[in-house]
Amino acid sequence: MKLNIDDNKQTVVLLLATVIWGLSFPAIKISLDQMMPLTLGLMRMVLGAIPLILYMIYTQSKDRMILTFRTGVIPITGIAVTQFFLPLAAQNVGMNMMDPETAASMSSILQATTPIFAIIFSSLFLREYIGIKKAVGTAIGLVGTVMLVSEGGRFVFGSYVIGNLLLLSTSVLYGYSGIIAKKNLVKIEPLPMITFSMIIATLFFLPTSLLSEPISHVTEVSINVWLLVLFLGLVCNGIAMIMWYIVLTSNELSKQISFTYLIPFFGVIFSNLFIGEIIGIQTIVFGVITVIGISIAQYGRKKKPLKS
């Protein structure tokens, strides 16, 4: 189902989504002080899915929901894995391994590399054309990304670098999930797509978290952290994703994905305001190089390939 939303409203909706996701990074770091990584992922899914399930039941008939799930179970499962389960698990575990002084800020910067992988996947799976500017921009962005992950080219695989790599893997997964969503939003509405995906992701998180982490520790989690988890689940995983997918029904993926490199801007600011993180000059330089590369790739003049 394609929704007609004018350009100004699209910009506002996408900007609001990036602000919400920027806020998520300090919220995750604070939550991980009291809640284990996979349990946090499980709770985000549960708390995010419940209100969406209720809203979907209220707005859609039982037959319609069953038909949607039956016809879209494969792409819905794909989104559950690539948009929710694996990225949240990698993000939470990775942030615990990263430099604790800059984990939230660095995570937001690394996840801003999603457009690089979205461009590559869009070319491979959606046949979107990559011209010279896009290729050069992508290459520059990849160089900046490598320098960020390796902390300036020091390929010493300690805890910090492994944590960085785990965060980078979330960008790869998000880039691919966008491909799955774009190809299937013509037949699956955003609300059931997100809701069913979160339900399936919850089913993946249940055995994974319960078998690897003692669930009893959640009784010691403070009310403030529970409120943050509710925000992460309901707002970040639920509302913001629906906003994103609604706009995606009428927008080009590689164009829309460019909004994601606003996330580190908000992520770094909010991480400084709420948890006092300050990133170094080296990180800023490599982050700027990455964003410049992505910008060149996104705003390169489009040309259609010649037909053979």
Q: What is the pLDDT of residue 108?
A: 86
Q: In this structure, is residue 290 part of a structural domain?
A: yes
Q: In this structure, is residue 2 part of a structural domain?
A: no
Q: Which of 192, 238, 189, 187 lies closest to 84, judged by CA? A: 238
Q: In this structure, is residue 307 part of a structural domain?
A: no
pTM: 0.82
- Whether the CB-CB separation of 209 and 39 falls below 8 Å is answered with yes
Q: In this structure, is residue 304 part of a structural domain?
A: no
Q: In this structure, is residue 188 part of a structural domain?
A: yes
Q: In this structure, is residue 267 part of a structural domain?
A: yes
Q: Which of 109, 149, 44 lies closest to 269, judged by CA? A: 109
CA–CA gap between residue 150 and residue 110 (Å, rounded) = 12
pLDDT in tens, the chain (308 residues): 445 566 677 888 888 998 999 999 999 999 999 999 999 999 999 988 988 898 889 888 999 899 999 999 999 999 999 999 999 999 999 999 998 998 998 898 888 788 788 888 888 887 777 777 777 877 887 777 777 766 655 655 667 888 989 999 999 999 899 889 888 888 888 889 889 999 999 999 999 999 999 999 999 999 999 999 999 998 998 888 888 877 876 666 556 766 766 788 888 889 999 999 888 887 888 888 887 887 777 665 444 444 43
Question: 3-state DSSP helix/strand/coil percent for the chain, to nearest 5?
Answer: 80, 0, 20
Contacts of 284 (CB under 8 A, 6+ apart): none
Q: In this structure, is residue 130 part of a structural domain?
A: yes
Number of folded domains in the chain?
1
Q: In this structure, is residue 174 part of a structural domain?
A: yes
Residue 128: both structure tokens together: 């979107």
Q: Could you tell me the residue range of the domain that residue 240 belongs to?
A: 7-299
Q: What is the pLDDT of residue 307?
A: 45
